[in-house]
Amino acid sequence: MIITKKAIARRTVLRGVGATLALPLLDGMIPASTALAKTAAKPIARFCTVYVPNGIIMERWTPLTEGSAFDFTPTLKPLEAFRDHLLVVSGLDNTGARSRSGASGAHAKPAGAFLTGVEPLPTTGSSSLQLGISMDQILAKTLGQDTPLPSLELGLEGADTVNGVGTCDVGFSCAYQNRLAWSGPSTPLPVETNPRVVFDRLFGGIDSTDPAVRQARLRRQQSILDSVLDKVDALQGGLGSRDRLKLDEYLQSVREIERRIQNAEGQGRELPVVDSPAGIPVSYDEHARLMFDMQALALQTDTTRVITFQIGREQSGATYPQIGVSDSHHPISHHGGDRNKIESLAKINAYHTTLFSYFLEKLASTSDGEGSLLDHVITLYGSAISEGNRHDIRNLPLLLAGGGAGTIASGRHVKYPDETQRLTNLQLTLMNKLGVSMETFGDSTGERLDELSELSTSLTL
């Protein structure tokens, strides 16, 4: 390990006019009271969820073989470069969505239960919401104690309200399928889709969705980086060569994201939402990449350790003309065996994993101590429904991406026998691996899926 000229606190930030720039993990932040210090700081716990709606064509998703020699199916093919960091998990059921009330809730129940393990009950309005605390928020209560933002809840679709977005199941609040993160039984957390707002939250700018406020900010404010350049220069003078290189790469990433956001805002228009793509100057792909880039920055700078990202909400009516699918996503998912619709849905599924592969590449190329962010993070990717045509909650399409700092034995496909294992048991296992000790969660039986790991060590909080 390179010993730098002076020790730097892990939570060091550079403050400028209207800006706060957090720093990535540098060698100089690793405790080194003597020249004999040889080991890097133990990786911190980080957890992400990336959610896709409306189910998946399962025969295009599920590998035919188990173990480390599993095959990459058409939907998983975009992720093949990350084989060693993937754990595909088959056979888990979203049992929290089972109907005990007798009401249907074909999308509301699976989505509501996905991160809570609790069945949503019929509601008459926002005042009667009743669910459970989602696993991300349980993690945020512990992992978020030492970060500026306990968690981030992000998405790609539309303006977010509790009861007024999109088609929703009759008798159920839209909140159950529009929002995955719940800080309490009646408190769904809003989903932010605007990259500028997210950027401002990360770097201390104006947190406003008002277009006039944002345009005024754009006209008067210099680059966030320009406002802290003098402090950057002072800091670099005390860094070792490797730390200077890390800092330069990080600053270039921030400036590039800022440039892309300002370029979109300079046209006087909003960034895209997937249910209204016509006439938007910034592509859906660019929107997704910006959101993934900022998630990587948030993790890199330890601004937050918990992120929930919804590529789409249940019953999403998004169209994807960029991949040749002009029909709405949700109606396509009810394909009724129509081969054309099945092919279109398979294209959407593969497109989503292609977007996800961009995020994994970003994490893999971002250093974090003695490894990369991808080595140290755990990301749960999947859907609350398997076969969308039947709203099937059995055998969910799920995978874990990232090494979890050695707590996850990746590079495998693990398959459980049909209808024998619950999603909540996986989530309980993950929370314990991430350092949050729990005996049960949602409708979990309390069983730990320790076969997913070769090590039982927890990460540093």
Q: b/e per residue, 331-347, with b = 16+ CB within 10 A? A: ebbebeeeeebbebbbb
Rounded Cα distance, 441 and 430, in Å: 11
How confident is the model at residue 215, as a pLDDT?
54
CA atoms within 13 A on the CB side of 215: 8
What is the rounded average pLDDT of the residues 190-219? 68
- How many angstroms separate the CA atoms of 100 and 458, rounded? 36
| 270 is a domain residue | no
441, part of any domain: yes
409 belongs to a structural domain: yes
The number of distinct structural domains making up the chain is 1
Is pLDDT above 50 for 95?
A: yes
CA separation, residue 441 to residues 55, 72, 91, 280 (Å): 24, 32, 19, 42
CATH assignment at residue 104:
3.40.720
Q: How large is the average pLDDT for residues 60-87? A: 97
Q: Does residue 160 belong to any structural domain of this protein? A: yes
Give the span between the Cα atoms of 441 and 108, in whole angstroms: 20
CA-wise closest residue to 322 among 348, 294, 340, 360: 348
Query: Tens of pLDDT along 236-281?
Result: 766 777 777 777 777 777 777 777 776 656 554 444 333 332 322 3
Q: Report residue 380 as tokens.
A: 């749960």
pLDDT tens sequence across 139-167? 999 998 888 899 999 999 864 444 444 57
Residue 240's pLDDT is: 77
More confident of the two residues 92 and 247: 92
Structural domain range at position 401: 42-193+306-452
Bridge partners (DSSP) of residue 188 are 182
What pLDDT sits at residue 278? 30
Among residues 419, 440, 376, which one has the least CA distance to residue 94? Answer: 419
Query: For tokens 């039947």, what's the residue?
Result: 390
**Predicted confidence (pLDDT) at residue 334 exceeds the cutoff of 80:** yes
pLDDT in tens, 118-147: 999 887 655 678 899 999 999 999 998 888
Q: Could you tell me if residue 148 is inside a domain?
A: yes
pLDDT the model gives residue 392: 95
Residues with Cβ within 8 Å of 409's Cβ and at least 6 positions away in sequence, in order, are: 87, 452, 453, 454, 455
Q: Are strands 47-51 and 378-382 parallel, antiparallel or unpaired?
A: parallel
The answer to whether the CB of 31 falls within 8 A of the CB of 308 is no
* In-domain check, residue 411: yes
SS3 per residue for the chain:
CCCCCCCCCCCCEEEECCEEEECCCCHHHCCCCCCCCCCCCCCECCEEEEECCCCCCHHHCCCCCCECCCCCCCCCHHHHHHHHHEEEEECEECHHHCCCCCCCCCCHHHHHHHCCCCCCCCCCCHHHCCCCCCHHHHHHHHHHHHCCCCCEEEECCCCCCCCCCCCCCCCCCCHHHHCCCEEECCEECCCECCHHHHHHHHHCCCCCCCHHHHHHHHHHCCCCCHHHHHHHHHHHCCCCHHHHHHHHHHHHHHHHHHHHHHHHHCCCCCCCCCCCCCCCCCCHHHHHHHHHHHHHHHHHCCCCCEEEEECCCCCCCCCEHHHCECCCHHHHHCCCCCHHHHHHHHHHHHHHHHHHHHHHHHHHCCEECCEEHHHHCEEEEECCCCCCCCCCCCCCCEEEECCHHHCCCCCEEEECCCCCEEHHHHHHHHHHHCCCCCCCCCCCCCCCCHHHCCCCCCCEC
99 falls within a domain:
yes
Range of lowest pLDDT (83-87, 294-298, 404-408): 404-408
Whether residue 140 lies inside any domain: the answer is yes
